[in-house]
């Protein structure tokens, strides 16, 4: 939304959906740039051009704002829904598409950076997010589905998450080759293959 110089931007007065979107976008950028712990609601308010109070009205805490800014369980549920046999394809495709769109501003990347550099809150938040993802995966991968080892299901889901975090780190954070400059389609193929083995082996 373009702002007219000299006039308060319209969304500030009568566009709650516009506010919400502006706050979420500002939050994604701020978390990505400064990490979870060092980002304040005040930073985000300034970036979004709204008041601190308005943020509080939309999101009750920094943690809630963060969770809202992360591509959430609703996206994951959409990706995960469907035939379990082709789940690895959908996860690989969804992951690559999301990261290729905007890895630098991805809140999960921010959280990975923050948790790695010893921010305890970030690590806890990451754990919480992983646990809620596990619940979504479990809804499709029921332990009694054929060909899936019940006991190990949580472990397999955790290894899948670890694999995606490792690839995120190599390709989008440290940018090591050959992963960093691999075409997205090739990466999707490799991930599909590996995730399939991790889940169904």
**Nearer Cβ to its own copies, position 17 or 131?**
131
Nearest to 154 by CA among 91, 201, 199, 124: 199
Closest contact distance (angstroms) between CB of 58 and its own copies is: 28
Q: How far is the CB of 155 from its own copies (least distance, A)?
A: 6
In terms of CB distance, is 10 or 38 closer to its own copies? 38
In the complex with its own copies, the residue whose CB is nearer, 53 or 178, is: 178
The three-class DSSP label of residue 194 is: helix
Q: How far is the CB of 47 from its own copies (least distance, A)?
A: 19
CB of 44 within 8 A of CB of 27?
yes
Q: Supply the DSSP string of 100-154, one letter for each residue.
A: HHHSTT-HHHHHHHHHHTT-HHHHHHHHHHHHHHHHHHHHHS-TTSTT--STTHH
Q: How far apart are CA 122 and CA 128, in angstroms?
A: 10
Q: Supply the minimum distance, in Å, between the C-beta of residue 62 and its own copies.
A: 19
Compare residues 35 and 107 and give the one whose CB is closer to its own copies.
35
Nearer to its own copies, 145 or 180 (CB): 180
Nearest distance in Å: CB 161, its own copies: 7
Specify burial of residue 14 (Cβ count, 10 A radius: 0-12, 13-18, 19+). Answer: exposed
Least Cα distance to 130 among 87, 161, 105 occurs for: 161
Under the rule (CB under 8 A), what is the footprint of its own copies?
35, 112-118, 123, 126-127, 130, 154-155, 158-159, 161-167, 169-171, 173-179, 182, 186, 190, 193-194, 197-198, 201
């Amino acid at each position: 939304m373009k702002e007219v110089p000299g006039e308060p931007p319209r969304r500030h007065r009568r566009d709650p959906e516009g506010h919400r979107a502006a706050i979420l976008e500002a939050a994604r950028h701020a978390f990505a740039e400064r990490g979870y712990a060092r980002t304040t609601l005040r930073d985000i308010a300034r970036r979004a051009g709204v008041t601190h109070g308005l943020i509080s009205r939309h999101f009750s805490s920094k943690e809630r704002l963060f969770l809202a800014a992360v591509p959430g369980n609703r996206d994951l549920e959409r990706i995960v829904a469907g035939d379990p046999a082709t789940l690895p394809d959908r996860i690989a495709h969804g992951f690559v598409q999301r990261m290729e769109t905007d890895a630098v501003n991805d809140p999960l990347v921010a959280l990975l950076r923050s948790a790695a550099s010893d921010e305890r809150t970030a690590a806890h938040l990451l754990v919480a997010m992983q646990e809620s993802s596990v619940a979504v995966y479990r809804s499709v991968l029921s332990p009694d589905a054929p060909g899936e080892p019940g006991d190990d299901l949580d472990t397999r889901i955790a290894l899948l998450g670890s694999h995606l975090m490792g690839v995120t780190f190599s390709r989008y954070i440290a940018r090591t080759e050959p992963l960093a400059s691999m075409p997205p389609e090739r990466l999707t193929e490799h991930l599909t293959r590996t995730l399939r083995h991790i889940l169904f082996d």
